[in-house]
Amino acid sequence: MASSIRQTVKQIVETSDTWAGKTFDIFIQLLIFASLADFCTRTLPNLDPSLRSGLQVFEVVAVTIFTIEYSLRVAVADRPHRYMFSFYGLIDLVAILPFYVSLGIDLRALRAVRFFRLFQMFKLMRYSNAVKRYMRALRDIREELIVFTFWAFMVLFFASVGIYYFEGDSQPEAFGSIFHCMWWAIVTLTTVGYGDVYPVTVGGKLFTAVILLVGLGFVAVPTGLFASALTKESS
């Protein structure tokens, strides 16, 4: 009898074949989204106090439901320990733990630990299957990606050192050390170009021009790698 209930709960919690299982899945997903929206909204300054307390009540409700869900998953798992130390098991735990931890300590610390609630989002990945195709494409170009990453860091480093020699003296605020220059290098090579730091000397501008023409590979190489891997994968 107890085993029959456990079997029913297991079917609802772990699979989404039945009507109940599907409803449970969709309910949890919607609750994750609502919980994330709650999380974002509470960072708004000048929030109405009554709305703020409403959102706090909602958080308690949401965490309670996530705790029940976690307990059920542990209870119905064939090997509870295996689930608890699996990728999703740890995420399920990390998503609820900060709430309980924060009850014991002072309120300012709340802010930092609540960051982990975001891991709830990963739960949604459980419901997606197409992720695997991306993973396979990524695995195919693993070695090339590592070499590209190394090359990217080398270009970043050379760009930082070069601009330091050209701009270091004329703009000590923005290009005062190689570490300062790295901020410029990353913003420039990814073509974001905020405009908070940019070269002003002739030498610095010439150097930037050369680096930018070489740095087109920053976007071209990973894109080409990905296109190639996906073409191979799908054919």
Identify residues 123-182 at the interface with a copy of itself (CB under 8 A): 124, 128, 130-131, 133-134, 140, 143-144, 146-147, 150, 152, 154, 157-158, 160-161, 164-165, 168, 172, 176-179, 182
Q: Is the Cα torsion angle 46, 61, 69, 89 positive or negative in sign?
A: positive
Quote the least distance from Cβ 32 to a copy of itself, whole Å.
Answer: 12
Of the pair 91, 182, the CB lying nearest a copy of itself is at: 182
Q: Is residue 17 a contact residue for a copy of itself (CB under 8 A)?
A: no
* 3-state SS, residue 18: coil
Residue 43 burial class via C-beta count within 10 angstroms: exposed 0-12, middle 13-18, buried 19 and up: exposed
Of the pair 53, 231, the CB lying nearest a copy of itself is at: 231
Quote the least distance from Cβ 89 to a copy of itself, whole Å.
Answer: 20
Name the one range near a copy of itself by CB under 8 A: 13-21, 72-80, 86-94, 217-225. 217-225
Quote the least distance from Cβ 145 to a copy of itself, whole Å.
Answer: 10
Q: Is residue 58 a contact residue for a copy of itself (CB under 8 A)?
A: no
Cα separation, 101 vs 109, whole angstroms: 10
Of the pair 2, 213, the CB lying nearest a copy of itself is at: 213
Hey, which residues between 106 and 125 contact a copy of itself (CB under 8 A)? 111-112, 115, 118, 121, 124
Q: Is residue 48 a contact residue for a copy of itself (CB under 8 A)?
A: no
* Residue 162 main-chain phi, psi, to 5 deg: -60, -50
In degrees, rounded to 5, the angle at the alpha carbon of residue 18 between the alpha carbons of residues 90 and 84 is: 15
H or E element at residue 78: none
**Cβ 181 vs Cβ 164: under 8 Å:** yes
Q: Is residue 186 a contact residue for a copy of itself (CB under 8 A)?
A: yes
Quote the least distance from Cβ 55 to a copy of itself, whole Å.
Answer: 13
Q: Is residue 216 a contact residue for a copy of itself (CB under 8 A)?
A: yes
* 3-state SS, residue 1: coil
Q: Is residue 214 a contact residue for a copy of itself (CB under 8 A)?
A: no
Q: Is residue 217 a contact residue for a copy of itself (CB under 8 A)?
A: yes
User: Among all chains, which residue has been given the structure tokens 């308690």?
Assistant: 60
* One-letter amino acid of 114: R
Residue 99 burial class via C-beta count within 10 angstroms: exposed 0-12, middle 13-18, buried 19 and up: buried
Q: Total binding residues for a copy of itself by CB under 8 A?
A: 76
Name the one range near a copy of itself by CB under 8 A: 2-10, 39-47, 81-89, 93-101. 39-47
Cα separation, 100 vs 62, whole angstroms: 13
Hey, which residues between 71 and 100 contact a copy of itself (CB under 8 A)? none
Question: How much helix, strand and coil, in percent to the nearest 5, is found in the chain?
Answer: 80, 0, 20
